[in-house]
Amino acid sequence: MLNNKVEFLLPGMPELPEVQTTINGLRRKILNKKILSVWSDWPKVAKSPTPFSAFQKLVSGKKIEEIERRGKNIIFYLSGGIVMVAHQKMTGHFMVGKFVPQGGKMLAQDKKISKDPYNKYIHLLFKLSGKTDLALSDVRKFAHVFVGGNVQDIFKRSGVDKLGPDALKISVKDFEKLVKNQRRPIKAVLMDQALVSGIGNIYGDEILWEAKTNPFSHSNALTSLQIKNILRTIHKILSYATKLGGTSTSDYRDPEGQKGKYGLHLKAYRQTGKKCLRRDGGIIQRKVLNQRSAHFCPKCQKI
């Protein structure tokens, strides 16, 4: 079990707003461009096919026809029926620009990108038509990519087929049924990607603070009114966070190598010891829930 100090220092994994922000940027910049070649100094980033030379051969010469999100995964649909599934994991992020080799590494020519140290850990780079590059920077090398010609097979191997309905698309009826059938703390339910996909630690805290719901409240004890309010809040928080380009409390950067701005609006996540912004006299607390943190106000988020 992770101790409190170590868990607190873990970076927030890119969640739905960060992944959607990435996809929105990629769609504007690289749709219909052709992959000319692929470079990596960490071939293990490609989980399938292996060896890396097979991965390079499969995607080279293919055009990027569409990009979509499945939970926290980025799906690239390439010409010839090839599908590429990428998960940025805890510290990865895609960037678009011009990158040049230097000392065995790839560095951005754009100073706005290169001045940020989190943009310098490039381990996968796609040379594209139009003198454009798609780079994956990842400090901890946790990100991975799967490629193949069979969509169902790739979704199975990458785990996409195990995802629950999307947090922004699930119906009120299905969400209420899902929550009522669980006997776990509501935050654990929201973060379970097999039940509802896209929500992680950051937005789990923010959603429940906004909905005035304690993260340790048992989901099957919540009323229909409370559950509907949580779903409305999910839409509100995730949509607004996407509009602001996501949260960059740690490593996340958008396709231009810039930080998201939602971190300036956090009400609960990593606000331990601060006064609740509802001015109700409460102080934001942090407790461990399933080896992750839960931040909440004991005054306005009572069980």
7 is catalytic: no
Query: Pick the catalytic residue: 14, 17, 185, 215?
Result: 14
- Residue 294 is inside which H or E element, if any? strand 292-296
Give the global pTM. Answer: 0.94
Whole-angstrom distance, CA of residue 147 vs CA of residue 40: 15
Every domain of the chain with CATH number 3.20.190.10 lies at 31-162
Q: Enumerate helices (H) and strands (E) in the chain, giving the number of each.
A: 9, 13
Pairing relation of β-strands 83-87 and 144-148?
A: antiparallel
Residues 134-189 have pLDDT tens digits of: 999 999 999 999 999 999 999 999 999 999 999 999 999 999 999 999 999 999 99
Residue-wise pLDDT for 190-204, tens only, equals: 999 999 999 999 999
CA 21 to chain centre: 9
Choose the catalytic residue: 15, 18, 206, 210: 15
Query: Which residues of the chain form CATH 1.10.8.50?
Result: 172-296
Is 17 noted as a catalytic residue in this protein? no
Distance CA(146)–CA(101), nearest Å, equals 25
Supply the pLDDT for residue 2. 32
Q: Please indicate whether residue 15 is annotated as part of the active site.
A: yes
Average pLDDT over residues 193-219: 98
| Each residue's pLDDT tens digit, 14-69 | 999 999 999 999 999 999 999 999 999 999 999 999 999 999 999 999 999 999 99
CATH 1.10.340.70 fits 172-296, yes or no: no
The percent of residues in the chain predicted with pLDDT above 70, rounded, is: 96
Mean pLDDT of the chain: 95
**Smallest Cα–Cα separation from 189: which of 142, 232, 234, 143?**
234
Which one from 120, 292, 298, 299 is the annotated catalytic residue?
Answer: 292
Confidence at 11, pLDDT banded by 50, 70, 90: low
27 as an active site residue: the answer is: no
Report the alpha-carbon distance of residue 42 to residue 192 in Å, rounded: 30
Instruction: Give the fold, CATH level 3, of 31-162.
Output: N-terminal domain of MutM-like DNA repair proteins (3.20.190)
Could you say which of 69, 70, 72, 270 is catalytic?
72
pLDDT at 277 over 70: yes
Question: CA-CA distance, 284 to 270, in Å (whole number)?
Answer: 9
SS3 content of the chain, % helix, strand, coil (to 5): 35, 25, 40
pLDDT digits (tens, 9 = 90+) for 75-121: 999 999 999 999 999 999 999 999 999 999 999 999 999 999 999 99
